[in-house]
Amino acid sequence: MTGLFSKIFVVLMLGLAVSSASAGGDIEVRGPWVQSAPPGVKVLAGYLEIKNNGKQQQVLTGVSSPVFGQIEIHRSVIHGNMAHMEHLTELAVPANASVVMQPGGLHLMLMDAKKPLRIGDEVPMTLVFGNGEKVAITAIVRSGKMGGMEDHQHMDHSAHGEHKH
Amino acid sequence: MKNQKGALGRKGLAILLMAAVAIAVAAAVFVALRPAKEVVVKPPEEIEDYLFWEAKALTDFKLTGADNKTLALNDLKGKWSFIFFGYIHCPDVCPLTMGILGKAFNLIGKNPAAYEEIQGVFVSVDPQRDTPELIKEYAFYFSDKIIGVTGDTAQLDAFSRQMSALYTVHPKDPQASGDNYQVTHNSTVFLVDPQGRLYGRFPPPQLPQEIAEVFLKIRTFYNERARK
């Protein structure tokens, strides 16, 4: 009985460690993931949500990972069909608010991959905030292709099949 | 008074008759001399915004793929080609758009005849960093229907300008480490018809089902128009 409970507890804790991390209680990082790419691609994108549960604004000032030579905060901007990326030196997360990084917008630009990453691989990262706080997270490599809309797409598959000629 | 009125009435009637005859003759002459015009079929409203006002014949071009294979205008003929300009050091918008295109192709796959007629072309506008081999691997990753090509600046310009798909390679930031610089690019997916004409476009943000459904309607419209 205790054995089973402790097993469940360990699984739960592992799940939490992977999906979210918090330090000092104010900053919570949710659902970090890395967009998979062919093995030869050295530059990837990472996505996550930073939730600030505190009463003071928090500022993300840097991100590092042993798997990448350099990580920058970027924002994709599409203006008049032209796409480009803006490099942000820092990212403010207002008090009691969330900043969501997702495909087509804010993302972590992960550069100089030290090894090919495959779907399911774990990427440890450390987020550094302006107040000196460091938050360690583990991002999972997955075939985003459509980002968080994967499930949505499956629904559309069946809908499309119905009006096939 | 009465007589005068009657005379005027008859005269008026005669003028009216002559005018009517003149108009009828003019109309007949106009119809007879009107230049024979091809029947214009108006595209359905739901695809109108995706089509170019007039299909534009592309001029020949030359781009290079893996294994020294070249891509020219003739290779686009006989197929519907979905063309996307991007680069591999673009980790966000490019995989997003390529993934959407790959998914759209899977959806089009439910119509085997249409699926047979489609191909994707990923054009890297960053030949300095993207080798043809890596471009091929990258394009294939999203769909085995997408080929990857690039070219030198003159070749890329000659092709992309035909679609007004401008791109800008930004100078390298001297403080940036490694080989990091940015390229601004058009993230529209362009559609070239089986005659090698620029026919339609899917501007961002695209969705897989949008591309698939609109393309199938465009193809139906194109085939119907060809029969008329």
Q: Map tokens 């459904």 to a residue.
A: B213
* Helix-, strand-, coil-residue percentages of chain B, each rounded to 5: 45, 20, 30
Please indicate if any CB of chain A lies within 8 Å of the CB of B109: no
| Cis amide leading into B91 (omega within 30) | no
The pLDDT score that the predictor gives to residue A143 is: 87
pLDDT bin (cut points 50, 70, 90) of residue A41 is very high
pLDDT bin (cut points 50, 70, 90) of residue B227 is confident
Lowest-confidence pick of A81-90, A117-126, A144-153: A144-153
Give the integer Cα–Cα distance in Å for B200 and B149.
21
pLDDT bin (cut points 50, 70, 90) of residue B33 is low
The pLDDT score that the predictor gives to residue B23 is: 77
Give the integer Cα–Cα distance in Å for B6 and B171.
91
pLDDT bin (cut points 50, 70, 90) of residue B174 is low
Kindly give the pairing relationship between strand A27-35 and strand A20-23. Answer: antiparallel
Please indicate if any CB of chain A lies within 8 Å of the CB of B204: yes
Distance from CA of B141 to the nearest CA of A (A): 6
B186:A74 CB<8 A:
no
Please indicate if any CB of chain A lies within 8 Å of the CB of B162: no
Predicted confidence (pLDDT) per residue in B5-20, tens digit: 555 567 777 777 887 7
The average pLDDT across A64-91 equals: 95
The pLDDT score that the predictor gives to residue B15 is: 76
CA nearest to A44 within chain B: B91
B91:A110 CB<8 A:
yes
Angle between helices B208-227 and B93-108 (to 10 degrees): 50
Model confidence at B91: pLDDT above 70: yes
Give the integer Cα–Cα distance in Å for B202 and A147.
19
Q: Helices (H) and strands (E) in chain B — how many of each?
A: 8, 10
What mean pLDDT value characterizes chain B? 89
Predicted confidence (pLDDT) per residue in B94-106, tens digit: 999 999 999 999 9
Distance from CA of B73 to the nearest CA of A (A): 25
Give the integer Cα–Cα distance in Å for A84 and B89.
12
**Continuous segment of H or E residues that includes residue A160:** helix A150-162
Greater confidence (B32 vs B64) lies with: B64
- Tell me what ipTM this predicted complex has: 0.75
List residues bridging with A134 in a β-sheet. A128
Model confidence at A16: pLDDT above 60: no
Give the integer Cα–Cα distance in Å for A44 and A113.
8
Question: Closest Cα partner for A156 from B100, B139, B60, B54?
Answer: B100
Give the integer Cα–Cα distance in Å for A44 and B95.
9
The average pLDDT across A132-145 equals: 90
The pLDDT score that the predictor gives to residue B133 is: 95
The average pLDDT across A73-79 equals: 95
| Contact yes or no for A47/A33 (Cβ under 8 A) | yes
Sequential DSSP letters for A81-120: TEEEEEEES-EEE-TTEEEE--TTSEEEEEEEESS---TT
Greater confidence (A127 vs A157) lies with: A127
Percentage of chain A modeled with pLDDT above 90: 68
